[in-house]
Amino acid sequence: MPEPTELDRTYDFILRAFVADGTAPHFTAIARHFGVSPDEGRRRLHALMEAGLPNWLFPSTDLIASFAPFNNLPTQYRISVDGQQRWFAQCGLESLAMTWMFPGKTVVVDAPCLDCGEPLRVAVRDGAIEGAEPRGIWFYVDVPFRAWRTDLPFS
């Protein structure tokens, strides 16, 4: 198996920082982790964010705004693990993918329904839906899949 690339390693560091802390690392933390200069940490961050994955920076900054499945800005998709609500999901679909970030644990998604404002809750463990309240929760996106990349934050 080939060695992980620099992009692989930067991606993995950021994702694991989200898992551990619930927030995105700054590029200086990337630099410190890899033993490189802050400027090199910033370069690695930007290189990763230009790799075509569903991740983006806050406009005109070096700050991670969203890094699927996580969001660094609060969204209505609150994620709890082991009774701790420490994470936010990028969107309703990615809230379900949170299960792969916490193997062996039950991930609870709490959100309001955008139609009525009443709460909904989904519990997922290793990709299996353990519970949904109310039963019969549905997902909806009004942007065709082919157009998602033209405006990821909107999609």
Partner 1 sequence: MNLFRSEEHARHWSGFRQEAAAGLLSLADAMAVMSTPRHRDRLSGRYVSSAPSSAPAFLERLKAISRNDPFWAPPG
In the complex, the residues that contact partner 1 under the rule CB under 8 A are 1-2, 4-5, 7-9, 11-12, 15-16, 19, 48, 51, 53, 68-69, 77, 91-97, 100-101, 103, 109, 111, 113-116, 118, 120, 122, 124, 127, 129, 132, 134, 136-147, 149, 155
Nearest distance, CB of residue 121 and partner 1, angstroms: 10
Nearest distance, CB of residue 89 and partner 1, angstroms: 10
Task: Determine the 3-state secondary structure of 65 from DSSP.
Answer: strand
User: For partner 1, which is the closer residue by CB, 45 or 111?
Assistant: 111
User: For partner 1, which is the closer residue by CB, 61 or 145?
Assistant: 145
The answer to whether 129 and 108 have CB atoms below 8 angstroms apart is no
User: For partner 1, which is the closer residue by CB, 65 or 68?
Assistant: 68
What count of residues does the chain have?
155
Nearest distance, CB of residue 51 and partner 1, angstroms: 6
Q: State the burial class of residue 63 (Cβ atoms within 10 Å of its Cβ: 0-12, 13-18, 19+).
A: middle
Q: Which token pair is 122?
A: 């989904």
Among 67, 75, 95, 45, smallest CA distance to 152 is for: 67
The answer to whether 12 and 20 have CB atoms below 8 angstroms apart is no
User: For partner 1, which is the closer residue by CB, 40 or 110?
Assistant: 110
